[in-house]
């Protein structure tokens, strides 16, 4: 038997009247704060359908060549200020399902999934559909109103989800614990930073972001939240229905893409990208057989033929492609590149000129000008390089080619300045530093050093066709210096 120790209290029996009562409002005990993520589904049905539609659209863009030039992108459904004003209002929605490249697509869809999960959890699927499309149209209208010429991407709708969630958390801040209640503030900060950053990048359609964000916020203000967060577990039948719906949509999409030859064409594109030329030729040929309207297969197959040096087949495919796509800049650029490789300067210049007539671009002017240098037409080539710089003041190759022309004219100081500018803009052009050093040495009368640098440059460029004109210049000056017999000069 344990004896009682003096000074120590005996154990107490706890009764309800001894407990501290929670603050009350009237006669009702206030409930504990909610956790927003409780029972949140990781498979938001509507958002996953939207993601699937965007992926299908991107496959369609690849297979139709919409990613290769502006006219093709407009034909696919890109947002255009002028075309919308002419009555093509469907572009306000279609542009939201198109993307400019892989990083654009992945970035938008990643954020869409995260925000979409939260939005469907907060508002429910029906209201999320309303928010998404209202924000998408609002963003497109804002873009058109501010005069943006051409745009694609789901970011307007994504910003709409941001705006809607900010309103939701603001209006329901009393329901959640401190951490979850601050989610809206975090989303608002991210949205503001992204919009501010958008003003620094001319390639971002920031007005679509602003319009979408405001559209999502406005529609969220008008919605009630009575059915939003009941925290009930989703019945198993509904879960199975979700899975069946998504799998059915995915299967139907793949079947449709296969029937129209798009699957083979995408495989061909991927094969071509990873230099599997035989596979690219095989799958692009299948694509054309299934659907003769998949003329983009010709350019894919043409590139593959060019890679394995079947030039006649490559040229034939590019000509077939251009016959049905006369406004394709990439078609003229690719065909011009093949003629350039074959040293057929006149046909190369014609192709680059045709591309410029469709859509003036720095690389087309630069390619045409370089071929003109090799033909000895220095005046027109200089005009081409200057035109390239007018379109893009940071286009490094054009500065380098202007430097070459100055060197040919004997204007060494100007040539060195232009070549250094080219290297400053593009550090991958390190090979040009030998030519710069040779010109500086020759200018200062240090002929032995000039000979060494010219020889080094020639050795590095002798098998590189893209440096053919510079190589010819270096060989000519090397011979001139050797004839001077100036080996012992300073």
Q: Which tens digits make up the pLDDT trace of 77-102?
A: 899 888 888 788 889 999 999 998 88
Q: Answer yes or no: are the C-beta atoms of 281 and 82 closer than 8 Å.
A: no
**What confidence score (pLDDT) does residue 408 get?**
93
**What confidence score (pLDDT) does residue 468 get?**
93
Query: How confident is residue 174, by pLDDT bands cut at 50, 70 and 90?
Result: confident
**What confidence score (pLDDT) does residue 239 get?**
65
Contacts for 468 with CB less than 8 Å, ≥ 6 apart: 374
CA 195 to chain centroid: 18
**What confidence score (pLDDT) does residue 164 get?**
94
Nearest CA-CA partner of 73 in 104, 99, 106, 109: 99
Average pLDDT, the chain: 84
Helix (H) or strand (E) holding 25: strand 24-25
Distance CA 117, CA 374 (A): 59
Q: Is 207 exposed, middle or buried (0-12, 13-18, 19+ CB in 10 A)?
A: buried
What is the reported pTM?
Answer: 0.65
Lowest mean per-residue pLDDT among 224-228, 375-379, 442-446:
224-228
Return the SS3 of 151: strand
What percentage of the chain exceeds 70 in pLDDT?
Answer: 87
Question: Averaged over 141-159, what is the pLDDT?
Answer: 87
Lowest mean per-residue pLDDT among 107-116, 316-325, 343-352, 478-487:
478-487
Lowest mean per-residue pLDDT among 250-259, 287-296, 318-327, 457-466:
250-259
**What confidence score (pLDDT) does residue 42 get?**
84
Question: Does position 194 have pLDDT exceeding 50, yes or no?
Answer: yes
**What confidence score (pLDDT) does residue 224 get?**
62
- Between 19 and 378, the higher pLDDT residue: 378
Distances in Å between the alpha carbon of 92 and those of 96, 161, 185, 208, 272? 8, 17, 30, 11, 34
Q: Which residues partner with 28 through β-bridges?
A: 25
Distances in Å between the alpha carbon of 345 and those of 168, 334, 460? 64, 14, 24
Q: How many CB atoms lie within 10 A of CB 26?
A: 5
Nearest CA-CA partner of 281 in 258, 307, 262: 307
Question: Does position 296 have pLDDT exceeding 70, yes or no?
Answer: yes
Question: Does position 463 have pLDDT exceeding 90, yes or no?
Answer: no
**What confidence score (pLDDT) does residue 232 get?**
43
Helix ranges (H only) for 100-175 are: 102-123, 125-145, 155-171
Nearest CA-CA partner of 143 in 210, 83, 97: 210
Question: Averaged over 246-259, what is the pLDDT?
Answer: 76
Distance CA 322, CA 327 (A): 8
Query: How confident is residue 39, by pLDDT bands cut at 50, 70 and 90?
Result: confident
Distances in Å between the alpha carbon of 391 and those of 101, 180, 328, 329, 415? 22, 49, 19, 16, 21
Question: Averaged over 57-85, what is the pLDDT?
Answer: 82
The domain locations on the chain are 45-228+235-250, 430-490
Query: How confident is residue 241, by pLDDT bands cut at 50, 70 and 90?
Result: confident
| Cα angle value 313/353/425 (rounded, 5°) | 100
What percentage of the chain exceeds 90 in pLDDT?
Answer: 47
Question: Averaged over 32-39, what is the pLDDT?
Answer: 73
How many residues make up the chain in this entry?
490
Q: Which residues partner with 150 through β-bridges?
A: 80
**What confidence score (pLDDT) does residue 11 get?**
59
Contacts for 457 with CB less than 8 Å, ≥ 6 apart: 431, 434, 435, 438, 470, 471, 474
Distance CA 3, CA 6 (A): 9
Distances in Å between the alpha carbon of 256 and those of 60, 250, 259, 363? 11, 10, 5, 37
**What confidence score (pLDDT) does residue 294 get?**
80
- CATH label, 45-228+235-250, candidates 3.100.10.10, 3.40.50.300, 3.40.630.40, 1.20.1540.10: 1.20.1540.10
Q: Answer yes or no: are the C-beta atoms of 116 and 177 closer than 8 Å.
A: no
Query: How confident is residue 238, by pLDDT bands cut at 50, 70 and 90?
Result: low
State the Rg of the chain over Cα.
32
Query: How confident is residue 113, by pLDDT bands cut at 50, 70 and 90?
Result: very high
Helix (H) or strand (E) holding 28: strand 28-29
Question: Does position 197 have pLDDT exceeding 90, yes or no?
Answer: no
Q: How many CA atoms lie within 13 A of 405 on its CB side?
A: 25
Q: Supply the residues annotated as catalytic.
A: 155, 209
Q: Answer yes or no: are the C-beta atoms of 414 and 385 closer than 8 Å.
A: no
Enter the tokens of residue 269: 């594109």
**What confidence score (pLDDT) does residue 415 get?**
94
Q: Is 485 left (phi over 0), alpha (psi -120 to 50) or beta?
A: left
**What confidence score (pLDDT) does residue 233 get?**
46
């Amino acid at each position: 038997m344990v004896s009682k120790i003096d000074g120590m209290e005996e154990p107490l029996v706890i009764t309800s009247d001894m407990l501290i009562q929670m603050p009350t409002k009237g006669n009702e005990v206030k409930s504990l704060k909610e956790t927003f993520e409780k029972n949140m589904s990781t498979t938001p049905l509507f958002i996953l359908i939207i993601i699937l539609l965007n992926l299908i659209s991107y496959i369609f863009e690849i297979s139709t060549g919409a990613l290769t030039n502006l006219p093709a992108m407009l034909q696919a459904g890109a947002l255009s200020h002028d075309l919308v004003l002419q009555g093509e209002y469907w572009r306000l929605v279609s542009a939201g399902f198109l993307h400019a490249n892989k990083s654009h697509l992945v970035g938008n869809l990643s954020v869409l999934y995260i925000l979409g999960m939260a939005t469907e959890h907060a508002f429910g699927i029906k209201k999320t559909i309303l928010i998404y499309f209202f924000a998408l149209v609002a963003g497109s209208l804002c873009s058109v109103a501010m005069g943006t010429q051409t745009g694609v991407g789901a970011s307007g709708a994504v910003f709409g989800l941001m705006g809607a969630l900010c309103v939701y958390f603001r209006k329901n801040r009393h329901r959640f614990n401190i951490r979850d209640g601050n989610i809206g503030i975090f989303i608002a900060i991210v949205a503001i930073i992204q919009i501010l950053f958008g003003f620094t990048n001319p390639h971002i359609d920031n007005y679509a972001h602003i319009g979408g964000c405001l559209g999502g916020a406005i529609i969220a203000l008008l919605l009630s939240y009575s059915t939003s967060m009941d925290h009930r577990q989703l019945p198993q039948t509904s879960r199975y229905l979700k899975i069946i719906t998504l799998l059915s949509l995915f299967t139907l999409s793949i079947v449709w893409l296969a029937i129209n030859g798009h699957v083979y064409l995408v495989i061909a594109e991927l094969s071509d990208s990873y230099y599997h030329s035989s596979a690219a030729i095989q799958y692009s040929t299948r694509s054309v057989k299934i659907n003769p309207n998949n003329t983009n297969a010709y350019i894919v197959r043409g590139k593959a033929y060019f890679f394995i040096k079947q030039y006649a087949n490559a040229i034939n495919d590019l000509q077939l492609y251009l016959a049905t796509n006369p406004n394709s800049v990439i078609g003229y650029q690719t065909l011009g590149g093949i003629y350039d490789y074959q040293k057929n300067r006149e046909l190369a210049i014609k192709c680059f000129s045709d591309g410029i007539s469709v859509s003036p671009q720095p690389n087309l002017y630069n390619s045409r000008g370089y071929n003109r240098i090799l033909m000895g037409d220095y005046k027109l080539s200089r005009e081409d390089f200057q035109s390239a710089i007018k379109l893009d003041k940071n286009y490094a190759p054009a500065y380098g080619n202007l430097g070459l022309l100055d060197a040919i004219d004997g204007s060494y100081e100007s040539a060195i300045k232009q070549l250094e500018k080219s290297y400053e803009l593009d550090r991958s052009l390190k090979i040009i530093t030998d030519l710069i050093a040779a010109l500086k040495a020759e200018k200062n009368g240090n002929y032995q050093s000039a000979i060494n640098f010219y020889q080094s440059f020639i050795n590095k460029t002798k098998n590189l066709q893209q440096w053919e004109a510079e190589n010819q210049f270096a060989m000519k000056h090397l011979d001139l210096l050797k004839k001077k017999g100036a080996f012992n000069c300073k």
